């Protein structure tokens, strides 16, 4: 595995894990938008788990893709207003 791929895979795994920790659902859980926020978190967590599985299976390309997709789900949720994030965070586009 190239050093660039290893570094990028490490960075994206950390970024997704940090983003999951930072994103707080805005709408009440029992509302349709709250359910959507829950779905987004579940997708992002699943992609994080998948990425870790791929890394353990020595498949860094699919690990990186999984982390990227998971992060994309969360970032889209933030942009749609499903999550609040710290103002000083560089994790999300707002």
**Domains contained in the chain, CATH given:** 3-84 (1.20.1270.90)
Q: Quick check: 85 pLDDT over 60?
A: yes
pTM of the model: 0.89
pLDDT at 94: 57
**Residue 90 phi, psi (nearest 5):** -100, 10
pLDDT in tens, 31-50: 999 999 999 999 999 999 99
CA distance 89 to 28: 23
Mean pLDDT of the region 62-86: 94
CA distance 39 to 43: 6
Per the structure block, which two tokens stand in for 42?
């579940």
Q: Quick check: 69 pLDDT over 70?
A: yes
CA distance 60 to 82: 30
How many other CB atoms are found less than 10 A from the CB of residue 43?
Answer: 16
């Amino acid at each position: 595995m190239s050093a660039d791929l290893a570094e990028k895979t490490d960075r994206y795994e950390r970024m997704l894990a940090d983003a999951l920790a930072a994103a707080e659902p805005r709408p009440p859980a029992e509302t349709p938008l709250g359910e959507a926020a829950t779905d987004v978190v579940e997708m992002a967590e699943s992609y994080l788990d998948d990425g870790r599985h791929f890394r353990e299976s020595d498949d860094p390309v699919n690990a990186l893709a999984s982390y990227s997709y998971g992060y994309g789900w969360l970032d889209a949720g933030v942009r749609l207003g499903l999550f609040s994030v710290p103002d000083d965070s560089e994790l999300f586009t707002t």
